[in-house]
Structures are given as C-alpha cells and as structure tokens.
Structure 1
Amino acid sequence: MVMHRYARERRKLVDVLSGHIGLERTQSVYAAIDDLLARRLLAVTPYAGKSLLTAAPDYLVRLRAEKLTASAAALERLGRMPIERFESLGQMTDAKVLESFHEHVCSAHRLIRLSFFESLAEIEGLADLRDRAEAGVEIRVLLGAPKAMKDLRGASHEKRAKRAIRSWREATRNWPNTEVRVARTTQDIECGSSASIDGRLLRLDVHEPLAERSLMGEMLLAHEAGGNLIRLFDHSFDAAWARAIPTRRWPLIRRAAGAWRWTATAGVTVPVATALQDSAWRDLLIGVAATSLLAALDENRTRLQVWWRRLTRDS
C-alpha cells in the first residue's frame, strides 16, 4: 500500500489485495485491514462522500514504536520509489501483448470492457473470457458497425464488420454475464483493440485509426496509479455503450421499449380517452393521456429537433 499509494474504499482495497501471498482468502484481507486500522497504521480519509483507506501519515513512527524498525526502514525505502503509472507492452504483434492479455483477463473480478474494430471472435484469450464470465464477471464487447467501419477504413471493411458481429454473437451466445453491442459511429470505436479491467488496468492500443490498422499500434498498459486515464477510457466506453445497438433480441426489445414507452402509452390512451363518454374512467384516462403525451414529447425531443432542423433547412 505504501509503494503504490493506495487510497481505496474498503471493498475495492480488498479486491486489490486479494491474491497476495498470505491474503488469498477474502476473510484474511478483511482481518488484515481491521488489524492495521486498530493499530492506527491505516487511516480513514473522507473524499467525495466516500471513506478511503490509506496509510496513516505517521505509520513509520508507529512501526518504530512497535519495535518493527526493519519493516519501517523497508517501507520508507518503498515510499520513495517512483510510481509506475504506465508501461509499454510493445508492438501489438509482440508475444508479451498476447501473454499479458491472458494474465490481465484472469485477474478480473467485476467488469471487463473490450473494444474491437472488426476482429473475429477467434482472439487469443477467448477461453479466458468465457471462464471469467462463468465466474460472474460482467463482460461488455463493443464492435464497430458496418457503416462506421466503411467510413473509417473503406467499403471492403463493411462485410468484415458484419462477419465480426456474427462471430461474436455466435461465440458468446451461451455465455452468462456477457453482452455484445455495435457502436454506431467511428468516434465511438476509435479506441478499438483496447480493454479495461475492473477500472484498475487499461490496455490501450495507441495508433492512428484513420491511417493505420490496429496491429500497427503500440500497446500501453496503464496501472492503477494512472487512474485518470483509466477513468477517461471507461467513461468514453460507457457513453459509447449506452448509444450502441445490442446484438441480442431481448436487450434490443428492452431498449426499444424504454425509448418509446411514453409514446406508446400516449398512442393508446389518447384515442381511448377521446372515445369514452363522460365518466370517472374518462377523466382518469384524460389525466394519464395528458401526462404520457407530455412525457412522449420530452422523450422524442431530440428526434423532433432533428426533424425540425431538416424541415427548416429544406424550406
């Protein structure tokens, strides 16, 4: 914790420390944290409405007071070590890039974000992804839409993108906790061939997608100390994910139902309320119809603005 300057919520700190020697079991990590808190070697720091655990400011003094001078000296040296925020894993075709993908995927506990341009589901590490999905890890795969890939790389890549979508949809058909979506625009897929692991590791393929293939890039690995870069990628990915099109039927139906629910309600209640004679039911339906009609206008505000701009531009 001293070397990496950890400042984490208890739950996230447990995830980080789990797997270290002597801390293989979650209960062991919790016990170690409680012990360090009781000895005031850890401190609780409020930050943005959260309680973060970090090394106490005077942990060296307390260690020496406990006659742990060797530990204090070792930690003091570690505390002066430079923080490793990111490193280059080499060119995308280097063996280290593939080998580290296996290691990083297998370390996932909560969420894996994957972004591909038009790669088929024949990548190294596909079995590792399936294993993590079966272990309860959520996996999100974002692919480039055929039109987006055509705009980005040319007409021949439209068919390649379609094959990639079919490939991933078939490969993950029976996987739990896994969803594949298709990014609509080139901007949403610019960071293709990249991955984020639990919001603590980022594998970023650095290249110029307008002029290069992803395999011509360089893979950078951002560690936890590069948190702002990781969060920037995650936020961008999540925004693209929200706009993307699901490839499975039920998520697509849920998306459509969510997008048009008030419009559908207004479409049903307005004619019924108009047809009914004066009664309490008619008054009730008029209220529902008015509410749903206003909500439908708000729901379709963006679409109406686009239509209005087109109408005024054409006129």
Structure 2
Amino acid sequence: MKLGAGALTPQEITVVDALSQAGVQRETATLAVVMWSRRHLRPEAELLDLIANYPVLDTVDNRNRALRDARERNWVVDVPSKFQGKAIVQAAADLEEKLAAIVPVYAGHIRQIRREEASVRVLGHMGEPDVFDSFATRLGEARSDIAMPAIMTSPLSAADVLKARAEAGVKVRILLATADLAGDIRGSSMVAEAKKRLDGWNLHTRGRPNFQVRVTRHRDDLRDASSALIDGSLLRYDVYDDTVERSTDGTMIEVGRSGATNLSRMFQDRFDDAWSRARPLGVWRSFGWVLRRWWWLGLVGAGVVVVATMNVKHPTATSLILGGVIGYLVNKLDPLLKGAKNWWDRQRA
C-alpha cells in the first residue's frame, strides 16, 4: 500500500483511535504512535518540523502541546547527542508497555505497527565458500522473480537451481555480456569461451518460457554484475571497483526485508533499463524480439507501398497520407537519433 507523506497506516489509525477513546488527546496519541512505530528522533526544533505532516499535528500549537503532554507522561525522553551538541528527543524505551497499559486490548496492534528494519548484512569476500553457497540457497528460495546480471558466468554454477525455479513458475532473467563485450572486459582470448558459455545458457532455457537470457553489448549495463534481486525485495549486491577489479574480487552484501527498499528499486530500474536494450539468446526468441521492437518499420514500409500505388489515381489523398506517415516516422526515429548522439558523445569523451 502506498501512502503519501504524513499519512498513517490503518493499523496506526486504529491505535490512535483507541488511545483517544481512552482519554488521551488525539495530537498526543498521534505523536506517541509515530514516535513508536516510525522511530523518529531529532533535536526538538527538527522533530517539530518532521511531524508537521501528520494528521492533527499540522499546527504549531498542536505540535507543541502534544510534545509537552508526551514529556509529562514520560513517553518521550531527551538524550544528549555526542555529535549535534543538542539533546535528541526520542521515544522512551518502555513506550510500548505504557501505551499497552492504557489500551491493553490493542497491545498486539501496538507491537505490530513497529516499522520493520531492513536487514543489511556484510556476508564477506566473494571468495569465501559461505558466500558462494548461500547465493545458490537464496536463488532456490525465490517465489516470483529473479533478476541477475553477470559478465560471462558459467551455466554450470547455478543453472540447475534456476531451471528448477523457472519450472516452479518463477520468472528468471539473466543478463550477460555478448562474446565481443566479454572479450573487451576479460581479454580477447576469452571470446571463444564466452561463446561456449552463451551456447550453454541457451541450451538450458529451451522449452522454459519463464527462463530468459539476454545479452548486452553495453558495458555500463553490467556495472551490477554478480549481483541479484530476488522477489523484488532481497538484494544480493557485489561491491567492487568495476573499472579495475573483477566481480570475484568484491564483497557481497545482502539487503532484505518483507517489501522493496530504495536500493532494491534502484537495482530493479537499472536492470530493467538494461534488459530493454539487450537481445535474447536463441533464433526464435531473437526473431520475436526483432518483431516486437521494429514492427513499426514494416508498417511504414507497407504504407509506402500503398501510397505509391494510390499516387497514380489520387495524388492529393496520397500527399496527405504521405505527410502522416513521414510525421509518424520522424516521431519514432527521434529517440533513436538522440540515443545515437549520446553514444557518439560518450565515445568522444
């Protein structure tokens, strides 16, 4: 569920309503709930600005009254800051128990509204056995989709796990470098090996519509190589300097929670953008990809034939139709021309 700035969740509103019915001022109840559920802490002036978006806390008087009341109830405390030089206002350590004592029937709701922390773990160097083994384990736990970019990883490493997940209904997308790009990155001697590995991947995807492999000729599309996004929320990210190091030199981190994070969305956007440019492996999939990408050229060609045929008997109508076709063609070609210009500018930089 998407919420606007300052919007409370239905569960938070339930707790605020319960506290209000128990005699707590609604602005105080709102402040207490968001301090507990969203873990707000700031110097006082900054905190008062931060909470201004919440219901009934949109006026200065209400915010000051709520904070004063919360202090008198010992629901918030002032903690000295080592860095700011100012006291930090934060929820009391026992705020959950104090709220539950007022509305014991809603103790479960109060516990549940606490915002989940994203789990961020440094798993270790890519060369450690546990990092490698746990990667396959995570892939095997996928329920809906897997997005994984790599340069020229061998299909022997995870193909069986990926095939099993694809056959279970999981959408598997693997983005690899073309053989030529792999040669540019790893050395020209690796071109033949890259081709061999791509053939291996192609073999594994046959007869499995949920298992797709595409190749890109753009190096920037593989900046996230050896990482993976699982079910749109669990991100395994390989951290390394992609200009001088191989992905096997990196350190793997794992970011996960029940929903997406800003990091997982950033990875998803980058992957989807690269995927849209990449070419599928396999003759028939490549043919279908070309049709979906360039169908409009066939339509324009057919239009030109029709216009040429009509021009003999209906020159005026032909001119109108031709004008429309040219306008449509220019509109379609404009982003392609801009893309070509950007590519040229990057080559000259």
Instruction: Identify if the C-alpha distance between structure 1 residues 52 and 99 changes in structure 2 by more than 3 Å, giving closer, same or farther.
Output: farther
In structure 1, C-alpha distance between the alignment counterparts of 2:101 and 2:211, rounded to whole Å: 46
Instruction: Identify if the C-alpha distance between structure 1 residues 246 and 54 changes in structure 2 by more than 3 Å, giving closer, same or farther.
Output: farther
> Counterpart in 2 of 1:162?
195
Q: Does 1:186 align with 2:143?
A: no
Instruction: Identify if the C-alpha distance between structure 1 residues 167 and 52 changes in structure 2 by more than 3 Å, giving closer, same or farther.
Output: farther
1:176 to partner: Cα distance: 3.2
Moved more, 227-236 or 284-293: 284-293
1:93 to partner: Cα distance: 2.4
Higher Rg of the two aligned structures: 2
> Counterpart in 1 of 2:281?
247
- Matches for 1:43-54 after TM superposition, within 5 Å: 46-47=3-4
> Counterpart in 2 of 1:115?
149
In structure 2, C-alpha distance between the alignment counterparts of 1:54 and 1:169, rounded to whole Å: 48
Aligned residue pair count: 257
Q: TM-score, normalised by structure 1?
A: 0.69
Report the RMSD for the aligned CA atoms in angstroms. Answer: 3.4
In structure 2, C-alpha distance between the alignment counterparts of 1:56 and 1:116, rounded to whole Å: 43
> Counterpart in 2 of 1:296?
329
Does the 8 Å contact 2:159/2:204 carry over to 1? Answer: no
- Matches for 1:266-277 after TM superposition, within 5 Å: 266-276=300-310, 277=312
In structure 1, C-alpha distance between the alignment counterparts of 2:273 and 2:212, rounded to whole Å: 15
Q: Does 1:218 align with 2:246?
A: no
1:170 to partner: Cα distance: 0.9
Percent of aligned positions that are identical: 28
1:228 corresponds to which letter in structure 2?
N
1:91 to partner: Cα distance: 1.4
Does the 8 Å contact 1:85/1:226 carry over to 2? Answer: no
In structure 2, C-alpha distance between the alignment counterparts of 1:92 and 1:159, rounded to whole Å: 25
In structure 2, C-alpha distance between the alignment counterparts of 1:184 and 1:178, rounded to whole Å: 21
In structure 1, C-alpha distance between the alignment counterparts of 2:305 and 2:138, rounded to whole Å: 57
Moved more, 83-92 or 135-144: 83-92
2:308 corresponds to which letter in structure 1?
T
In structure 2, C-alpha distance between the alignment counterparts of 1:104 and 1:53, rounded to whole Å: 31
Question: Secondary structure, in 3 states, of the residue corresponding to 1:47?
Answer: coil
Deviations 1:88-115 (A, max 9, x none): 1111122322332233223322211011
> Counterpart in 2 of 1:6?
none
The one of 292, 295, 298 aligned to 1:261: 295
Deviations 1:180-215 (A, max 9, x none): 100121100121111001111111111123322222
Does the 8 Å contact 2:146/2:231 carry over to 1? Answer: yes
1:163 to partner: Cα distance: 2.0
> Counterpart in 1 of 2:262?
228
1:158 to partner: Cα distance: 2.3
Structure 1 portions without partners, runs of 5+: 1-8, 10-44, 311-315
Q: Does 1:172 align with 2:205?
A: yes
In structure 1, C-alpha distance between the alignment counterparts of 2:206 and 2:298, rounded to whole Å: 31
Question: Secondary structure, in 3 states, of the residue corresponding to 2:261?
Answer: helix
2:188 corresponds to which letter in structure 1?
A
In structure 2, C-alpha distance between the alignment counterparts of 1:121 and 1:260, rounded to whole Å: 31
Does the 8 Å contact 2:163/2:204 carry over to 1? Answer: no
The one of 109, 133, 156 aligned to 2:166: 133
In structure 1, C-alpha distance between the alignment counterparts of 2:164 and 2:9, rounded to whole Å: 31
Deviations 1:107-145 (A, max 9, x none): 32221101111011001x432222221121111000012
1:274 corresponds to which letter in structure 2?
A
Superposed structure 1 runs of 4+ greater than 6 Å apart = 282-286
Deviations 1:224-276 (A, max 9, x none): 38711111111111100001111133332233223333332222222332233
Structure 2 portions without partners, runs of 5+: 17-95, 345-349
Deviations 1:142-200 (A, max 9, x none): 00122222222321232232222111111221223111100121100121111001111
